[in-house]
A and B are shown apart, each in its own frame.
Chain A
Amino acid sequence: MVSANKLAFPILSDPKLEVIGAYGLIHPGAGPKGNAIAKPAMLLVAADGRIVWRFQSPRVQERARVADILQALALAP
């Protein structure tokens, strides 16, 4: 996916949902085989670890708007 889309950022793998669980984002039964996957969400984490912006999708098909993300990045410390 990274090379096909020429992405400039890494895509990480969390098959045991350990990190997804640590962030409270497990969505049980939502995967293609009835497996648990992540709820869609985004967080902007400052260098010191503070969460300065976050977005949780209210519906499965929704994502944060690019304009909102860019604004959060502009304001981030």
Chain B
Amino acid sequence: MNHTIAARRGQATVASILCFICAVAAPAMWFLLVDSELLRSTGLVSWLCVLASVAFGLSALRRDKGWGVRLRVGVSFVVCGLFGTLFLVLLALPPSEKMAALTVAPDFTLPDQNGQMVQLRDPKVKGPTLLVFFRGHW
């Protein structure tokens, strides 16, 4: 019986360490994959890390409720919670009412990468124009 308890404790320790690694991997993977449009906007790989962390954590706690396991799993779940809060809440953007209310695009003239002035409603341009506001890297 001692052998079984020791084995369960060992498994719980491994699972709780994997739980922590997956929790820390969630935000790390998001930053590493930030150049992939799909992965950046959905956070897909990161959410899979969160799921894995939760699975390992629950598995560890089932096998051993000692303070070492609880501490590692607890810290891991806090990290997962912080990532979820960051991703869903802190990065949320309240919509611009001014933008939503515009019916006609305000005309403007700005320099391009060569210093040439470019006008939005250039009479020489016949078709529609796609105007993209971007922040820098992405």
Interface residues of chain A, those whose CB is within 8 Å of chain B, are: 1-2, 10-14, 18-20, 22-25, 27, 30-32, 37-47, 49-52, 54, 56-63, 69, 73, 76-77
Interface check B2, CB cutoff 8 A: no
Q: Give complex CA distance A24, B96 in Å.
A: 6
Contact between A47 and B127, CB atoms less than 8 A apart: yes
How many angstroms between the C-alpha atoms of A56 and B130 in the bound complex?
14
Secondary structure of the B contact surface, majority rule: loop
Contact with A61, one of B91, B110, B112 (Cβ below 8 angstroms): B91
List chain B residues, Cβ under 8 A from A46: 128
A70–B40 Cα gap in the complex (Å)? 21
* With contact pairs A23-B102, A24-B96, A56-B93 given, residues A45 and B128 touching in the complex (Cβ less than 8 Å): yes
Contact A13 B110 (CB under 8 A): yes
**Would you give the 0/1 interface string for B125-138, flagging 1 where the beta carbon is closer than 8 Å to chain A?**
11111111111101
Contact of B99 among A18, A23, A50 (CB under 8 A): A23
Interface-located stretch among B15-23, B49-57, B73-81, B113-121: B113-121
Which residues of chain A come closer than 8 Å to B97, judged between CB atoms? 24
B100 within 8 A of A: yes
Question: B residues near A, CB below 8 A?
Answer: 37, 40-41, 43, 87-88, 91-93, 95-100, 102-108, 110-113, 116, 118, 120-121, 125-136, 138
Contact A11 B120, beta carbon cutoff 8 Å: no
How many angstroms from the CA of A51 to the CA of B127 in the assembled complex? 13
What is the minimal beta-carbon distance from A69 to any residue of chain B, in angstroms?
Answer: 7
Are B133 and A41 within 8 A (Cβ)?
yes
Q: Which of B40, B88, B110 has the most CB of A within 10 A?
A: B110
Bound complex: CA A42 to CA B132 (Å): 5
A14 touches B91 (CB 8 A): no
- Asked if A37 contacts B95 (CB within 8 A), the reply is no
Instruction: Flag if A12 contacts B127 (CB, 8 Å).
Output: no
Question: Are the CB atoms of A51 and B110 closer together than 8 Å?
Answer: no
- Contact status B135-A30, CB under 8 Å: yes
